[in-house]
A and B are shown apart, each in its own frame.
Chain A
Amino acid sequence: MNRYNAFRLIREGLTGQKGWEPAWRSPAEPRPSYDAVVIGGGGHGLATAYYLAKEHGMTNIAVIEKGWIGSGNAGRNTTIIRSNYLYDESAAIYNHALDLWKGLGRELNFNIMMSHRGVLNLAHDEGEARQLKRRVEANRLNGVDAEWLEPDEVKKFCPPINMAPSIRYPVIGATLQRSGGTNRHDAVVWGYARAASGLGVDIIEQCEVTEILTEKGTVTGVQTTRGAINTPKVACVTAAHTSVMANMVGLRLPVESHPLQALVSEPVKPVMPCVCMSNAVHVYMSQSDKGELVIGAGIDPYLSYTQRGSMDIIEHQMASLKELFPFVSRLRLMRQWGGTVDVCPDASPIISKTPVDGFYVNGGWGTGGWKATPGSGHVFADLVARDEPNAIAAPFTIDRFVSGALVAEHGAAAVAH
């Protein structure tokens, strides 16, 4: 892997940009066997492969992706990053991810446009304020940076917000995580792919896994649209299709796949200095470096794999947004799209071994898995390599739905992303 740096940029600029090589190798066909196969070339799958190669020396591995890498939720999300979850188990994994995000651009030698611009979670009534303050305290005990802002401090931190007491759901305060923010989703996907490929990982696109091959309850390989591959370890990181894949080995999961939509406005000059989200009126907004306001809300209620949702969800969130940020009313929206998110009943992920030896599942991240990408890949690689979960991954087994040891973040940690 040739490193990217200012010197190369200048040299290529002077020599007709002819010396760049593809960021990652694209082998024409998968090899007949690998030490491990990662299914799914989203952020989590690529991160898993990268850490398997880098930290566990497993370089004879492949990432198998049915479309293009990043064509799933990795390329469709709104990149909000934070770690201010209520419970210890969640704080551990999301904060682990946040720590890794901080050095990731440098580590991957790829500009992931990480911006720690701060994330506000608004409170609109006394009950919500009390709950958010409790979360701030819990966060602090877990070493997560968190503070409570009074209304004047909210206005100072986020000047375009409407603090009028006369609006339907007035803002009475907010939590702030200063280390939260956004980054560039494609850059993360490409950066992980390039770094993994540089370590020897094969990235096979346009290849779908259609069957998990097992013998006596143990994985022996996968069948794909481009032939069979022998492998003793299959790491399944397919987000929307988590249940579909689990079904191939007869495993039932508590996951449901819902549409989740987002939209962007036409680009404008910098107006929005932070990420601002409201649980109660269900909308959030940030501004990309291109100037587009990036807007989203919650899932569509029904299950669907179509990667598109319904208009009423958009109408709802735009009405809320207009009241919180009146200046948006005259902006045009440029694009709207949907992804399919794999939701667990306790709004926490599954990072787990399964009853089938050699078949590992990482999924159920729902509406908020982007922020966890490096942490998820890091602990999942560890699980796949050692066949034992480490302390961060251990609470997220499938068994928790039987034992009852749920990590119930649904009400606790601000549903939205």
Chain B
Amino acid sequence: MFVIKCPNCGERDLSEFSYGGEAHISRPEWRDEMSDTEWAEFVFMRTNPKGVFAERWNHAAGCRRWFNMLRNTATDDILAVYGMGEEPPEVTANLPATPSGEAAIGSGNDEAKVIDAGDAADGGGGA
């Protein structure tokens, strides 16, 4: 569960928002000349990264406006909220050390978690 900071209304519970999926996918304008492969790319193919992800949200039970958000899908950390049509800002994120690995926090998969020495010294989580 996370709390999202709507750019218009402030911090609200996740359940007030509806999800718009991957951001920055725009409908190609030159659609007459498009091949089936290009259509498939636009309609179906998705990035689905484990890590920083740009996504769209709508504050459905609030201002009913759309906005973009950068979230780390490995931890659910929210990294930035920005307007529709804007470029995603630069952010730093707590990423897994390996592509399918688990970040030190925020993952339920203790079996495959990478805990670095710093965390251990802090008394932070352990597998």
Name A residues whose Cβ lies closer than 8 Å to a Cβ of B.
66-68, 71, 206, 208-210, 225, 238, 241, 243-245, 247-248, 252-257, 301-312, 337-338, 345, 401-404
Pick from B25-33, B45-53, B83-91, B117-125 the stretch touching chain A. Answer: B45-53
Q: In whole angstroms, what is the CA distance A311 to B19 when docked?
A: 16
In the assembled complex, B106 has its CB within 8 A of some CB on chain A = yes
Residue in contact with A252 in the complex, picked from B43, B45, B73, B101, CB distance below 8 Å:
B45
Are B53 and A303 in contact (CB-based, < 8 A)? yes
The interface on chain B, measured as residues whose beta carbon lies within 8 A of the other chain's beta carbons, has a size of: 38
CB 8 Å contact bits of B66-79 with A (1 = contact, 0 = none): 00000101111000
Task: Give how many A-B residue pairs fall within 8 Å (CB-CB).
Answer: 108
Residue in contact with B74 in the complex, picked from A68, A225, A252, A306, CB distance below 8 Å:
A306
Q: In whole angstroms, what is the CA distance A308 to B101 when docked?
A: 16
Residue in contact with A66 in the complex, picked from B1, B53, B101, CB distance below 8 Å:
B101
Taking CB as reference atom, which chain B residue is nearest A225? B98
Say how far A381's CB is from chain B's closest CB, in angstroms.
Answer: 23
Can you list 10 A-B pairs with a CB-CB distance of less than 8 A?
A: A66-B100, A225-B98, A244-B50, A244-B100, A252-B45, A253-B48, A303-B48, A305-B73, A306-B74, A309-B1
Say how far B74's CB is from chain A's closest CB, in angstroms.
Answer: 5
Say how far A383's CB is from chain B's closest CB, in angstroms.
Answer: 21
Are A245 and B36 in contact (CB-based, < 8 A)? no
Q: In the assembled complex, which residues on chain A have CB atoms less than 8 Å from the CB atom of B44?
A: 254, 345, 401
Give the 7 A-B residue pairs with the shortest CB-CB distance, closest first: A67-B111, A307-B108, A254-B44, A243-B48, A312-B15, A67-B112, A301-B19
Q: In the assembled complex, which residues on chain B have CB atoms less than 8 Å from the CB atom of A401?
A: 40, 43-45
In the assembled complex, B93 has its CB within 8 A of some CB on chain A = no
Q: In whole angstroms, what is the CA distance A244 to B48 when docked?
A: 8
Q: In the assembled complex, which residues on chain A have CB atoms less than 8 Å from the CB atom of B49?
A: 243-244, 247
Are A306 and B53 in contact (CB-based, < 8 A)? no
**Given A244-B99, A257-B48, A311-B1, A305 contacting B74 (CB threshold 8 A):** yes
Residue in contact with A256 in the complex, picked from B13, B43, B46, B71, CB distance below 8 Å:
B46
**Given A209-B100, A303-B55, A241 contacting B108 (CB threshold 8 A):** no
Are B101 and A243 in contact (CB-based, < 8 A)? no
Are B100 and A254 in contact (CB-based, < 8 A)? no
Say how far B62's CB is from chain A's closest CB, in angstroms.
Answer: 15
Q: In whole angstroms, what is the CA distance A345 to B47 when docked?
A: 14
Q: In whole angstroms, what is the CA distance A247 to B100 when docked?
A: 11
Are B108 and A302 in contact (CB-based, < 8 A)? no
Are B108 and A304 in contact (CB-based, < 8 A)? no
Taking CB as reference atom, which chain A residue is nearest B41? A252
Residue in contact with B112 in the complex, picked from A208, A244, A302, CB distance below 8 Å:
A208
Are A312 and B1 in contact (CB-based, < 8 A)? yes
Are B76 and A306 in contact (CB-based, < 8 A)? yes
Known contacts A305-B73, A312-B15; 17 further A-B pairs (Cβ under 8 A): A66-B112, A67-B109, A208-B112, A210-B98, A243-B47, A244-B48, A252-B45, A252-B47, A254-B40, A257-B73, A301-B18, A303-B55, A308-B108, A310-B14, A401-B40, A401-B45, A402-B39
Say how far B108's CB is from chain A's closest CB, in angstroms.
Answer: 4
Are B48 and A255 in contact (CB-based, < 8 A)? yes
Q: In whole angstroms, what is the CA distance A66 to B71 when docked?
A: 24
Q: In the assembled complex, which residues on chain B have CB atoms less than 8 Å from the CB atom of A241?
A: 50, 99-100
Residue in contact with A254 in the complex, picked from B14, B46, B108, B111, CB distance below 8 Å:
B46
Q: In whole angstroms, what is the CA distance A306 to B2 when docked?
A: 12
Q: In whole angstroms, what is the CA distance A402 to B39 when docked?
A: 7
Say how far A212's CB is from chain B's closest CB, in angstroms.
Answer: 10
Q: In the assembled complex, which residues on chain A have CB atoms less than 8 Å from the CB atom of B53?
A: 303
Residue in contact with B36 in the complex, picked from A256, A311, A403, CB distance below 8 Å:
A403
In the assembled complex, B107 has its CB within 8 A of some CB on chain A = yes
Q: In the assembled complex, which residues on chain A have CB atoms less than 8 Å from the CB atom of B39?
A: 402
In the assembled complex, B37 has its CB within 8 A of some CB on chain A = yes
Query: Of residues A243, A253, A402, which shows the largest number of chain B Cβ atoms within 10 Å of its Cβ?
Result: A402
Are B76 and A402 in contact (CB-based, < 8 A)? no
Say how far A34's CB is from chain B's closest CB, in angstroms.
Answer: 20
Q: In the assembled complex, which residues on chain B have CB atoms less than 8 Å from the CB atom of A68?
A: 111
Q: In whole angstroms, what is the CA distance A238 to B55 when docked?
A: 24
Q: In whole angstroms, what is the CA distance A173 to B101 when docked?
A: 46
Query: Of residues A241, A256, A302, A345, which shows the largest number of chain B Cβ atoms within 10 Å of its Cβ?
Result: A302
Are B1 and A305 in contact (CB-based, < 8 A)? no
Are A302 and B36 in contact (CB-based, < 8 A)? no
Q: In whole angstroms, what is the CA distance A337 to B108 when docked?
A: 8
Taking CB as reference atom, which chain A residue is nearest B105? A306
Taking CB as reference atom, which chain A residue is nearest B2? A310
